[in-house]
Structure 1
């Protein structure tokens, strides 16, 4: 299924005392081969996990893997949709969730009482649901864009009834101060007609914010990019930016015309990436400006999480739950010990990051993965929190 807010909530709450198997695959088209490397990593990782499990867990694990053999085959198949793919299975009752997206995901296998979330949290930070509005003289076209996948949502047509309007061609005569005709005016009746059309269009755009507000709520958009004819973009963004929508409005200089939905997504990707960097820069600045209500470093933040004092948890990308320092396909489970010392330490850090994310979510704290132009202050180790008290 495509990733949305409801799926995200389901994954966050997914837990099972017997264990939740979390499988992440990054089907990089550049690495395609007769036997894709991500498929090899998944096979070897699952074999290692089964062999290292105790008898009870092994029986459940083998049973669920047999039941999901087709899902596993689909997960690694090069022709399956999405570059980033994930499958979550509860061992006790076999509930499962499958997710696909165009964003890359970190190859990983995990078995724990809760779903392993850090790769998904990272992907959410980079590709969270956003709306794109294309505005022109015909109305508004609305596109949903999330995790590299763009789909049309609606076309709001601007319909103008001019049946009773008289469109007079040619210039009108201007009157002199004395009442006589002083020649031709530079403003024609056609100009007046066009002005009335423009005025009605502006009213239409102002009223459209109600529908767009509904879409922001329904689709969970974090950003709303407005593209099209510059004067209409300005008018639309002005109305939307007055707090009427719960999304950050991003005016764009792009005029996309008859682009398909995927082309629209590709065109605005750079502007959305910049909007996310600005968002993270604001978060970093907020952290720096609250010296009396912040925790720095993994140990201090974890203690605050245990005390339920954390309001916002900030993690720099590729720090405590790094996808860069841990080898692709690594198995994160208590029963599997990593022989390489560096990999073992990196895995331990990843599991610590996962614990922090889990505790933050359990106490209704905001979790944000940062990819700003700067970063958290030196000495934090890429981990910080703003506290409730």
Structure 2
């Protein structure tokens, strides 16, 4: 299998454009061992059998018979995706029924069970996964050291280790030290030691922050989680540059003692909560931007902005199936809208895929947000955009 973090926007664009004469089968399997993999496997097999049953009921045409035969031929792919020995908590496969191509992916983040047969790949759960799994930095601070890790799509890896300087023994005691002129006292040894220790801590924290801030740009971290208990979390977070403060997540838990899997799980859970919060903020930002003239709301406005290449960030509800048409010049239109020449375009039942495709081709960011159509973007049927101009 190919790991999902190897996909870039160019490859996603190419995937979204793939089609097949018989159709494309999209399989998403939740193989998370903590979520009952046996039940998930039963569910995905039931979904597959239901798809086969629907095809058989429409089996009077030659095409339906070919589709049914292709689904039977591809059943080993489902067995592979649900096999406990395979890697990944989330497993995905896109397969052309004609047998021309197949793409397998896996991730350490789970995906919902889905079985979809369409003209092209059903990419929306994949896009949701990639959006939530964008790289983040993690700083774990203790009295001995600081570990800088990178979290990406549910995986954690150590990228830097910074150790505190050795602390001198604490046997000195405060008191007057002789040797100076009458009436003049030297600084007590304990206070000297404490001052030196404070300076060591300051240099240590400055080094941690400087290293982390550099990695934010170098490794394109979109968020940075700081965890060091009550003593270290806030001081480290406060030292990060002002420009990064809106991307800082403070976690007062002491995570340094966890084993690798426990740490990965704890960090993933916290970043998942933060992602959900940022999605809600993004939806509100789109609404406010539209009121200020730097955003678009609703399918008509968004399609027009995509046609002009003005979209910087596309937001849509993947549970909504947007409909429209494509003009002779490739322009996208909502519903029954027509172009400036007054001629209707070709109906496009997969308009959502065309919207995503156009966003990728113009360098826009894409965020599928479940529930957008029933929340703050309900009047816009869950679709909006931040504009470049």
TM-score by length of 1: 0.71
Per-residue CA deviation, residues 345-377 of structure 1 (Å, 9 max, x unaligned), is xxx999443332222222222222336999334
Q: Secondary structure at the match of 1:98?
A: strand
**Superposed counterparts of 1:273-292, under 5 Å:** 273-290=272-289, 291=291, 292=293
1:151 pairs, out of 130, 148, 156, with: 156
Report the counterpart of residue 382 of structure 2 in structure 1.
Answer: 382
Equivalent residue number for residue 138 of structure 1: 144
1:73 aligns with 2:76: no
Which has the higher relative contact order, 1 or 2, with Cα contacts under 8 A spaced 6 or more apart? 1
Deviation at 1:74, TM superposition (A): 1.4
Q: How does 1:92-171 map to 2 (within 5 A)?
A: 93-113=100-120, 115-147=121-153, 149-158=154-163, 160=165, 169-171=172-174
Q: Which residue of 2 aligns with 1:305?
A: 306
Separation of aligned partners in 2, 1:49 and 1:124: 31
Alignment of 1:210-359 (within 5 A): 212-213=215-216, 216-217=219-220, 221-243=221-243, 248-290=247-289, 291=291, 292-316=293-317, 318-320=319-321, 351-359=350-358
CA distance in 2, matches of 1:8, 1:61: 33
Deviations 1:2-25 (A, max 9, x none): 432636652332243536543223
Higher strand share: 1
- For the aligned residue pairs, the C-alpha RMSD in angstroms reads 4.3
Kept in 1, the 8 Å contact 2:136–2:150? The answer is yes
State the shift of 1:270 in Å.
Answer: 4.9
SS class of match (2:176): strand
Unaligned runs of 5+ in 1: 322-347
Q: 1: distance between equivalents of 2:210 and 2:36?
A: 46
**TM-score normalised by length of structure 2:** 0.71
The question of whether the paired residues in 2 share the 8 Å contact of 1:87 and 1:96 is answered with: yes
Residue 208 of structure 1: how far off its partner (Å)? 1.9
CA contact (8 A) 1:133 1:143 kept: yes
Shift of 1:40: 3.0
Give the superposition deviation at 1:228: 0.8
> Is residue 26 of structure 2 the alignment partner of residue 38 of structure 1?
no
- The 1:191/1:372 distance shift into structure 2, 3 A limit, reads farther
Q: State the 1:252 CA deviation.
A: 1.9
Task: Name the CA distance, whole Å, in 2 between partners of 1:195 and 1:112.
Answer: 65
